[in-house]
């Protein structure tokens, strides 16, 4: 069986069983349970691997790693033991709370309703043993509502429901036939499925993978193979999938070096999801800095430069899919904020799109690339947005405008655009790509095919005019359009109708008339025959 088939079989089975278990619970809420337990299993088994590979414990023949851990931990000072584990992994799970220990209690029917709360309370307590990792692990399971009545009307019934979820997660095979760890792919699949089921709310935490691929390819296109650290930032990171997609597009030698992930997310539940997602894709807590905060209100904290002096943080790549036309507090004090001050105008209170653009651009380093998904209104709306757009163009920061098809995203059917920015551009032009007609129509939404993604990336890379698809516009051309970036002004997709041959049409009409006359004659003959037959029978 191929790896792909294995993954498909596992995910389909898991999704079907998850739907059965969730009963009348909303899919968006049920994800907090199944994804969190998947993560807990991952952490527990990851800890087991660490204990063995680093010779922290000795496993006797025929003995499980968990049994060896329980045995050794009970004969030594447990606090010191957990501190040693946490210093390396960033977290530590006590012997009684490991995934294997939990499953043994379920099998032996010795689980009591309070066990789950105790397990998560203990995890939070141990999460602060390593202060450098506390932000990454503390409270990551707080979104599991152990008292939700939809799990059951009593504590015993709810514990039974949680037991069923644990058993489901325990049945998942995390390895493919080729012995490759496919946990990350399974987790990513489930995030996408929950996003699709959650409808509008799904768009709050998930960017469709094909759109993520476009953004990732755009910001990594000029990255040369290197073993030096590469930093990527997502100011509205959702589940963190976009950050991970950027990693997948980097050259292998760059992936082998340190990749530093930075992200910020307002929604606490989604922030927890991102923490889990990155770690389940083998991102060490040392290589990720994620904040649970309002990006527009709480700017990214400064960091030390090579001389140790605090400076505004800047990143090699910035990617974002912010909430479209969101409301924000644009009081005049923000004009003193260095993120917005040099533009002289603030995005409207009812449309924060350009606030996200300016925030993201502020944190892009001089040699990096930024790609952000936004509604089409940013291309042509006037007033303050028009002034900001003009300033961005005059500063020569805008590199490309890419129009995407409508109905790609969960929760909205509007067409969107990708804006690409670079600070240190030499060319004095802007590339326009109209990819709005290239997609595959699905039942509930449209999908981008690999060929559609490749076509966009190839057009961006070649930066040449392509009939009815791409146009490189000079700054003078854009000025003539009053800095309006509406794509049809630059890419003409109008298809002329073929000229009509009147003589040919007349011939076709004449032939049709002859055919009609022939059929009418045949019908009259059949009718006369029927009448004659009827008279004879009478």
Strands 446-447, 303-304: pairing kind: unpaired
Round the CA-based radius of gyration of the chain to a whole number and report it: 30
Q: Are residues 284 and 345 in the same domain?
A: yes
Sorting pLDDT into bands at 50, 70 and 90, what band is 187?
confident
**Gap between the Cα atoms of 479 and 477, Å rounded:** 5
pLDDT for position 258: 85
The phi, psi pair for 128, rounded to 5°, reads: -90, 5
pLDDT for position 213: 94
Torsion angle, alpha carbons of 276, 277, 280, 285, to 10: -60
Cα 173 to Cα 19, 380, 474, distances in angstroms: 19, 51, 55
Q: Are residues 193 and 210 in the same domain?
A: no
pLDDT for position 423: 96
Q: Are residues 22 and 86 in the same domain?
A: yes
**What is the DSSP code string of 11-26?**
HHHHHHHHHHHHTTS-
Residue 495 lies in a domain: no
Domain end position, chosen among 200, 218, 238: 200
pLDDT tens, residue by residue, 244-293: 999 999 988 777 678 999 999 999 988 998 999 899 888 999 999 999 99
The lowest-confidence range among 351-355, 386-390, 436-440 is 436-440
Contacts with 321 (C-beta within 8 Å, 6 or more apart), sequence order: 207, 211, 215, 236, 238, 242, 372, 373
Residue owning tokens 């037959």: 533
Answer whether residue 325 shows pLDDT above 60. yes
Average pLDDT over residues 355-375: 96
Closest by CA to 250, choosing from 282, 278, 222, 279, is: 222
Q: Are residues 93 and 240 in the same domain?
A: no
**Gap between the Cα atoms of 259 and 262, Å rounded:** 10
Across 243-254, b (16+ Cβ under 10 Å) vs e yields: bbbbbebbeeeb
No. of H helices and E strands in the chain?
A: 18, 13
Torsion angle, alpha carbons of 108, 109, 114, 118, to 10: 10
Cα 145 from chain centre: 24
Closest by CA to 230, choosing from 367, 393, 329, 107, is: 367
Cα angle: 494, vertex 498, 501; to 5 degrees: 155
Residue 483 lies in a domain: yes
Q: Could you tell me the end-to-end alpha-carbon distance of the chain, in angstroms, rounded to an integer?
A: 75
Cα angle: 284, vertex 246, 437; to 5 degrees: 150
Tokens read off for 468: 């009815």
Q: Are residues 7 and 108 in the same domain?
A: yes
**Gap between the Cα atoms of 187 and 43, Å rounded:** 14
pLDDT tens, residue by residue, 492-509: 865 555 677 787 888 888
pLDDT tens, residue by residue, 432-468: 999 999 988 877 788 899 999 999 999 999 999 999 9
Answer whether residue 28 shows pLDDT above 80. no
Residue 264 lies in a domain: yes
Residue 494 lies in a domain: no
Domain end position, chosen among 200, 222, 249: 200
Q: Are residues 68 and 171 in the same domain?
A: yes
Across 209-223, b (16+ Cβ under 10 Å) vs e yields: bbbbbbbbbbbbeeb
Number of independent structural domains in the chain? 3
Q: Are residues 153 and 261 in the same domain?
A: no
Cα 115 to Cα 28, 98, 101, 170, 436, distances in angstroms: 25, 12, 11, 18, 53
Cα angle: 158, vertex 162, 164; to 5 degrees: 115
Which domain covers residue 349, as residue numbers?
205-489
Q: Look over the chain and give the mean of its residue pLDDT values, rounded to a whole number.
A: 87
pLDDT for position 77: 80
- Count, residues in the chain: 538
Answer whether residue 200 shows pLDDT above 60. no
CATH assignment at residue 240: 3.40.50.150
The kind and range of the H/E element at 252 are helix 252-256
Q: Are residues 137 and 233 in the same domain?
A: no
Residue 376 lies in a domain: yes
Residue owning tokens 């935490």: 205
- CA atoms in the 13 A half-sphere facing the CB of 11: 20
CATH assignment at residue 67: 1.20.1260.30
Answer whether residue 3 shows pLDDT above 60. no
Residue 496 lies in a domain: no
**Percentage of residues in the chain having pLDDT higher than 90:** 57
Q: What is the pTM of this model?
A: 0.85
pLDDT for position 2: 44
The phi, psi pair for 291, rounded to 5°, reads: -120, 145
pLDDT for position 535: 66
Tell me which DSSP letter residue 344 carries. Answer: S
**Helix (H, G, I), strand (E, B), or coil: what is residue 432?**
strand
**What is the DSSP code string of 89-152?**
HS----GGGSHHHHHHHHHTT---TTHHHHHHHHHHHHHTSSTTTHHHHTTTTTT--TT-GGG-
Domain end position, chosen among 151, 169, 200: 200
Q: In this structure, are residues 129 and 82 in contact, taking their beta carbons and an 8 Å threshold? A: yes
Answer whether residue 204 shows pLDDT above 70. no
Contacts with 224 (C-beta within 8 Å, 6 or more apart), sequence order: 251
Q: Are residues 432 and 452 in the same domain?
A: yes
Residue 318 lies in a domain: yes
Tokens read off for 79: 């606090």
**Gap between the Cα atoms of 329 and 348, Å rounded:** 9
Closest by CA to 470, choosing from 484, 449, 486, 456, is: 456
**Helix (H, G, I), strand (E, B), or coil: what is residue 424?**
coil
Q: Are residues 470 and 509 in the same domain?
A: no
Q: Are residues 357 and 421 in the same domain?
A: yes
Contacts with 313 (C-beta within 8 Å, 6 or more apart), sequence order: 233, 262, 300, 301, 302, 303, 363
Residue 260 lies in a domain: yes
Q: Are residues 516 and 410 in the same domain?
A: no
């Amino acid at each position: 069986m191929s790896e792909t088939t294995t993954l498909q079989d596992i995910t389909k089975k898991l999704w079907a069983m998850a739907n059965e278990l969730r009963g009348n619970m909303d899919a968006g809420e049920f994800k907090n349970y199944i994804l969190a337990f998947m993560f807990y299993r991952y952490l527990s088994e990851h800890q087991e691997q660490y204990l063995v590979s680093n010779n922290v414990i000795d496993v006797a023949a025929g003995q499980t790693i968990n049994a060896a851990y329980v045995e050794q931990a009970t004969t030594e000072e447990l606090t010191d033991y957990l501190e040693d584990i946490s210093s390396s992994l960033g977290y530590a799970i006590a012997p009684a709370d490991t995934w294997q220990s939990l499953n043994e209690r379920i099998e032996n029917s010795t689980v009591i309703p309070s066990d789950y709360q105790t397990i998560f309370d203990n995890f939070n307590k141990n999460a602060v043993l390593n202060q450098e990792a506390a932000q990454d692990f503390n409270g990551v399971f707080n979104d599991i509502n152990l008292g939700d009545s939809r799990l059951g009307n009593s504590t015993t019934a709810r514990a039974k429901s949680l037991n069923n979820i644990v058993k489901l997660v325990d049945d998942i095979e995390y390895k493919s036939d080729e012995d490759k760890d496919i946990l990350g792919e399974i987790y990513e699949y489930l995030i996408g499925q929950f996003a699709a089921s959650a409808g509008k709310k799904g768009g709050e935490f998930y960017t469709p993978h094909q759109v993520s691929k476009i953004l990732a390819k755009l910001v990594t296109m000029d990255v040369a193979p290197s073993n030096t650290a590469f930093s990527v930032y997502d100011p509205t990171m959702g589940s963190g999938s976009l950050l991970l997609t950027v990693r997948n597009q980097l050259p292998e030698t760059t992936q082998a070096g340190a990749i530093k992930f930075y992200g910020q997310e307002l929604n606490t539940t989604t922030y927890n999801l991102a923490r889990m997602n990155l770690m389940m894709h083998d991102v060490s807590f040392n290589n990720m800095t994620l904040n649970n905060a309002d990006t527009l209100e709480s700017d990214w904290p400064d960091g030390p430069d090579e001389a140790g002096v605090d400076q505004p943080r800047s990143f090699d790549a910035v990617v974002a899919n912010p909430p479209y036309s969101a409301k924000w507090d644009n009081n005049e004090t923000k004009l003193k904020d260095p993120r917005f001050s040099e533009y002289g105008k603030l995005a409207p209170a009812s449309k924060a799109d350009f606030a996200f653009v300016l925030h993201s651009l502020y944190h892009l380093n001089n040699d990096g690339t930024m790609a952000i998904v936004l509604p089409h209104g940013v291309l042509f709306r006037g007033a303050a947005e028009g002034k900001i757009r003009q300033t961005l163009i005059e500063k020569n920061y805008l590199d490309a405008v890419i129009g995407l098809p409508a109905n790609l995203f969960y929760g909205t059917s509007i067409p969107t655009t990708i804006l690409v920015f670079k600070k240190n551009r030499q060319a004095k032009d802007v590339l326009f790509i109209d990819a709005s007609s290239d997609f595959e129509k699905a039942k509930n939404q449209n999908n981008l095919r690999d060929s559609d993604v490749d076509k966009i990336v190839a057009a961006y890379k070649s930066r040449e005019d392509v009939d009815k698809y791409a146009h490189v516009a000079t700054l003078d051309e854009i000025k003539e359009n009053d800095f309006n970036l509406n794509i049809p002004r630059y890419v003409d997709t109008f298809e002329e109708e073929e000229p009509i041959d009147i003589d040919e049409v007349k011939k076709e009409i004449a032939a049709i008339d002859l055919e009609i006359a022939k059929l009418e004659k045949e019908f009259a003959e059949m009718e006369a025959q029927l009448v004659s037959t009827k008279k004879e029978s009478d």
